[in-house]
Amino acid sequence: MDHQGRFRRAALTLGIPDNEVSRFIQHLRLSIRLSGASSVVPVGQFGGLPRLPVGMDWPSDGVSPLPFIFSVDCAALPRVDGFGLPADGSLLFFLNHEQAAATGERRYGRVVYVPAGTDTEVGTGSTDDAFVGEQYDVGATLRAEFPDWFGAGEEDKEDQDDEDDLSPFQQQLARDLERDLPHLDELCALANELWPPDNGYASACIGGYADEEVIKSIAEQTLAWREKTGEIVIPVAKWYSHVENEAHRLTSEWVSLAHFPVDNELYYRSDGSFVIRHDDLAAGRLDEALPVAELIP
């Protein structure tokens, strides 16, 4: 479905100038919200045992099997403009979130793509409760997403009035946007009307913006490598501003492939995610997805 076209037509009907609509759409992303309910049309499975290609070993970190988180049927998911998921087949997500959080190593997470028509069988590599959660089906809905610094409607805007929550760089981005988009509030309200936010429990979100701290970490690594190779020299006093500029640039290159809470009684919050470059996703290079985990005591 042409979601951007649908949004543009609705905005123009409200009398909002086309150049404002185009600028706004540059920041608008749709994510696919997965949640379980008895009435949903299933698009994926959380927990239980995954269906793996016949003969494929259960994914591991090289020593131990990786916990299976969930799988989705790509053909059953709503299509999203600019988000290059495979048109069919299945995606299976495996993550050892504790080891991923402790080490940051890629080997503790893996995304497996199973093309449509592949002969599969129920995986039997692990039946330990720590690796196989309660099984349930999930359905999908779309929701609008914006950058963290973006004033997404009146309620969110009030939350961001405290300038301590935004860096000077982000404050300038927000001011520039408000200057260029006189109808910002109307555009945000329209986006949330077409794709309403849902504050209920979500099993996972596919697509949308990658976590700000994850992108900042990638930016720091990118700049550190460029300095090490002699490509650039960054004065110490300018390091943070360079990181913010690089992170802002990388936001357009990276997308959240999946983000999900993970049950862990030892922590107040436990999240897992996979981020990937748009070009890697479009080319089917899912092995390039970067696993990330966060544990908050």
DSSP string, 149-214: TS--HHHHHHHT-SGGGS-HHHHHHHHHHHHH-TTHHHHHHHHHHHS----S--SEEEESPPPHHH
How confident is residue 98, by pLDDT bands cut at 50, 70 and 90? confident
pLDDT for the residue numbered 187: 95
Residue 126 confidence (pLDDT) above 80: no
CA angle 34, 118, 55 (to 5 degrees): 105
How confident is residue 154, by pLDDT bands cut at 50, 70 and 90? very low
pLDDT for the residue numbered 294: 82
pLDDT for the residue numbered 166: 78
Q: Rounded to whole angstroms, what are the CA distances from 52 to 38, 59, 92, 211, 274? A: 26, 10, 9, 29, 20
Residue type, 56: M
pLDDT for the residue numbered 151: 62
Task: With residue 99 as reference, give the H or E element that holds it.
Answer: helix 97-103
Whether 52 and 112 have beta carbons less than 8 Å apart is answered as yes
d(CA 45, CA 67): 14
Q: How do residues 128-149 score in pLDDT, each as one tens digit?
A: 555 567 889 999 999 999 988 8
How confident is residue 253, by pLDDT bands cut at 50, 70 and 90? very high
Q: Determine what percent of the chain is predicted with pLDDT higher than 90.
A: 66
Residue 256 confidence (pLDDT) above 90: yes
pLDDT averaged over the chain? Answer: 87
Task: Determine which of 39-43, 74-78, 94-98, 288-292 has the lowest per-residue pLDDT on average.
Answer: 39-43
**pTM attached to this predicted model:** 0.88
How confident is residue 38, by pLDDT bands cut at 50, 70 and 90? low
Tokens of 275: 């981020």
How many Cβ atoms are within 10 Å of 231's Cβ, its own excluded? Answer: 9
Whether 276 and 288 have beta carbons less than 8 Å apart is answered as yes
